[in-house]
Structure 1
Amino acid sequence: LGKVAYFMQGNQGGLAGNLISGEDLERIIKEELKLREVNDPRAVAKVMINQLRTRNFILCFMGADYYAFVHRTFLEYFCAWEFVRKFEKKQEISLEQLKTEVFGKHWPDESWHEVLRLIVGMIDSIKAGEIIEYLMAQDGEGDELKNLFLAGDCLSEVRNRYEIQSTNTELLNHFKDLIHYSKNRHKFHYSRFQAVVAVATHWQDHPDTLPLLQQLARYDQYWMVRRTAIQQLALGYKDHLDTLPLLQQLASYDKEDVRRTAIEQLAQGYQDHPDTLALLQQSARFDQHSLVRCRAIILLAQGYKDHRDTLALLQQSARSDKDSRVRRTALEQLAQGYQDHRDTLAILQESARSDKNSSVRLTALEQLAQGYQDHRDTLAILQESVRSDKDSWLRSTAIEQLAQAWHDRVAWPTANQPWLWEFLCVRVAALSEHRTLNDPFERDQDEDYDNVNPRQVALNAILKYYPNHSQTRSLLLDRAEHDPDPKLREFAQEKLAKL
């Protein structure tokens, strides 16, 4: 199987391909059997292929006489094993060739990284250290410094890192330099985040790592670096006596993005700590930034749903928070987590009808349509919004929700109650008696051409749910010729051409 994997990596598709023809597969196995002096190698090869596919579940048949490893892990392991066999046992390739022709050729290709890591883990530690030094010496600026990050991953695979202490220290210093790199910092800002993760992962027990992460979490000028450092502290140093106080401090007094990250880590890692709930409640109610309040509301709804104060806090935020994003978030959490509570429906109805912000009204309408279709008032609220809401996007969404939820609940338009068909036609103004009742949307010349037109949404719903209605074609003709919106006319003309 090592030879099979080795052959596959040399194909045009390489490791990413994971494909071999039945002819090549049989030939490789047959040649190996001949070397072992097995009688009738061709017949035995066929039996082995069938067993690998049907009993061992290592290979699978892909059709058209092609095979593949069932899981990529098999391909990567056997490919690495074959390289090691050629290097250590057969001595067909030297260490220099392994460095230049295998690692040097493939380190920029991430599909090879797992194979290269496995090779390092299978060979002698000293030789593995030489490969890591070779990777460090490569110029990776044009390849997002993949050489350094692969070197870090390889270091974690080395059998005995104590045998390559100088290499270990040199690589750590490379990552420290990258984290603190000032020249062209913007160019390598993403690599700085990765470098923080690399140091925290590969040198977790190093005495410099914890102080470095603490410093970055507090003071780095880029919030994403600080966010990454906070996450790594909570992940790798949760039980350290300094971590919880630091997270609490950052959650209360730092910049908005940092506060949001800190409360996330507190909710995930310290949910049962007596101070965490109170801090989240304070953030949800009083944080100056709406995104922090939103995140705190979500964390409370997910982690403290059954706490006696959570429902009341969500209700208060949904009704009275000054920011529309917070009210929307609270409504979503109420509808998802407290759908059966007696007050949730009333809050959604109130928000759908009277909230001053159209995005909040829209969120409330969506939650009503999705979670309360069977309530007697939901249809009426949607119809009311379609007819009278001032926001065209909301009217369009209400039409979509109404048509999607109720089209299969009504009789076919030729039956006695074709109310949905007529309701949509009124919005499109496709019937002459409804001209004065159509949706009032007008597209200004300076307005974004992609802004949604409720008349077009209604027309599209008719085409979707009533494609065979006797009046659908005449409806399209009417809009293609007479609608004042050029985009709707274009839409109708395109649909006519396809009928």
Structure 2
Amino acid sequence: MVAQLRERNFILSRYGGEVYGFVHRAFLEYLAAADIAHRYKEDREWTPEELVAYVIDRHAEDSAWHEVILLVIGQIPERDAAHAIDRLLQLHRSPDHFGNRMLVLAVRALAEVTKIRTLASQSGAVADALCGAVSDSFLAGEAGLGAALPALETFNEYWTGRQRYLHWFLLRGQHLEEVSDAAEVAGALRLSVELAHALALFSPAPGVRGMVLSEISRLTKDVTTTRTLWMDRATSDPHEEPRRTALQLLSRSFVQHSQAVAALRDRSSLDSVPALRIEAFQAWAAATDACEVYEVGALALDDEHPDVRCCGIWILGFGCPGDPRGRETLQQRAQSDPEPDVRSAAAEALKAAEMLVPTRT
């Protein structure tokens, strides 16, 4: 048997002498979980309370056991899985446990249950615990819920906890001082297209508006509606963060579309934030035919902000190194621009253009 598992099934590996081990930890975790489930369901070795004590109380704090716990919960009856999840939530609420590791494990455990609708009470309790966890977050990512997000994404629109969490998010969560963690959980719960549009346009939190703009393409296949929304937000949102997100999305997804290019051109000259004008110029230049790149760089050089002019310098240096107009402009800027950083960038861009021209011809 050992020889077959090693030589034919490639499950075991020989470490030396008569010592063997699994080639991948997943085999060990699966077999350990299968053994526990068999001893519980077939051998009746434990009562439901004793199973929870053995699996959860003894091992929940040990991350090496988490996959085993999840596999066990997926193999036992729903009523027993409910007891295990209840216990994880009790541990989460205990003052002896810092952070949200037990909550994350509870969310992942819930995702292992086949008939999740039978665990309505646990679903509601998980949603309430998520609300509490993100409410206590004062920095982006502080809630530590990243590992729970893939599990939340598996819950369909009828999951009991979904409406509960989103109701709280709309009335309280999006108004938190630090909204990133709350918004990530909301995004994982499959917002409706209508709700996503409403949040993108009217949420009082810039972070929520930006998050929803990123999510919208995953929620609908209507590219025209998506493009229109992104163009509107790139030009009309009053806050820098959503405008930046919309510009980046446009440049990645619709960079060759004439209306999207027009929006980039508009932002390159009209946006009040220099960094966003730079992003717009870069995306516009990347979407422009090589023979027309000079015009984009030249417009950037007319900007009052030196960082934007430096952006124009590099558009000319790398985007049209063989264009005589570009080289002449770079020479002029290297000598006469009022900002030392721009003059220095122009001198360096000239050197780059000289190296690139032979490879372009």
- Shorter chain as denominator, the TM-score bin is 0.7 to 0.9
Aligned partners of 1:401 and 1:78: how far apart in 2?
61
Kept after mapping to 2: 8 A contact 1:386/1:395: yes
Aligned to 2:66: 113
Kept after mapping to 2: 8 A contact 1:267/1:299: no
Aligned partners of 1:298 and 1:292: how far apart in 2?
10
Aligned partners of 2:135 and 2:262: how far apart in 1?
51
Kept after mapping to 1: 8 A contact 2:143/2:181: no
Letter of the 1:121 partner, please give it: G
- Report the CA distance between 1:117 and its aligned residue: 0.6
* Cα distance per residue 1:266-316 (max 9 Å; x no partner): 344335265544333332223322333332223233333343322222223
Equivalent in 106, 115, 118 of residue 151 of structure 1: 106
Q: Equivalent residues in 2 for 1:437-456 (5 A)? A: none
Decide which structure has the larger Cα Rg and report it.
Answer: 1
Aligned to 2:233: 283
Letter of the 2:268 partner, please give it: A
Aligned residues: 351
Kept after mapping to 2: 8 A contact 1:99/1:134: yes
Residue aligned with 2:8, SS: helix
- Report the CA distance between 1:347 and its aligned residue: 0.9
Equivalent in 266, 276, 287 of residue 216 of structure 2: 266
1:374 and 1:264, CA in 2 relative to 1: closer, same or farther beyond 3 A? Answer: same
* Cα distance per residue 1:106-146 (max 9 Å; x no partner): 32344532221111112333333332233222237644222
Letter of the 1:296 partner, please give it: A
Aligned to 1:358: 306
Aligned to 1:76: 29
Aligned to 1:310: 260
Aligned partners of 1:299 and 1:187: how far apart in 2?
25
> Are positions 1:330 and 2:283 aligned together?
no
Q: Equivalent residues in 2 for 1:57-456 (5 A)? A: 58=11, 72-85=25-38, 87-88=40-41, 98-138=51-91, 139=94, 142-161=97-116, 165=119, 168-170=120-122, 172-176=124-128, 178-179=130-131, 186=138, 190-191=142-143, 202=155, 204-206=157-159, 209-210=162-163, 212-217=165-170, 219-220=172-173, 221-222=175-176, 223-224=179-180, 227-228=183-184, 231-232=187-188, 235=190, 237-238=191-192, 243-244=193-194, 246-255=195-204, 256-270=206-220, 272=222, 275-336=225-286, 338-340=287-289, 342-351=291-300, 353-376=301-324, 391=339
Kept after mapping to 2: 8 A contact 1:247/1:262: yes
Q: Equivalent residues in 2 for 1:17-28 (5 A)? A: none
**Where in structure 1 are there 5+ consecutive unaligned residues?**
1-32, 34-44, 411-499
Kept after mapping to 2: 8 A contact 1:231/1:265: yes
When normalised by structure 1's length, the TM-score is 0.56
**Where in structure 2 are there 5+ consecutive unaligned residues?**
none
> Are positions 1:52 and 2:5 aligned together?
no
Kept after mapping to 2: 8 A contact 1:319/1:347: no
* Cα distance per residue 1:5-45 (max 9 Å; x no partner): xxxxxxxxxxxxxxxxxxxxxxxxxxxx5xxxxxxxxxxx4
- Report the CA distance between 1:391 and its aligned residue: 5.0
1:118 and 1:379, CA in 2 relative to 1: closer, same or farther beyond 3 A? Answer: farther
* Cα distance per residue 1:349-376 (max 9 Å; x no partner): 442x432222223333444444444555
Percentage of identical aligned residues: 23
1:115 and 1:380, CA in 2 relative to 1: closer, same or farther beyond 3 A? Answer: farther
Aligned partners of 1:69 and 1:366: how far apart in 2?
54
- Report the CA distance between 1:345 and its aligned residue: 3.0
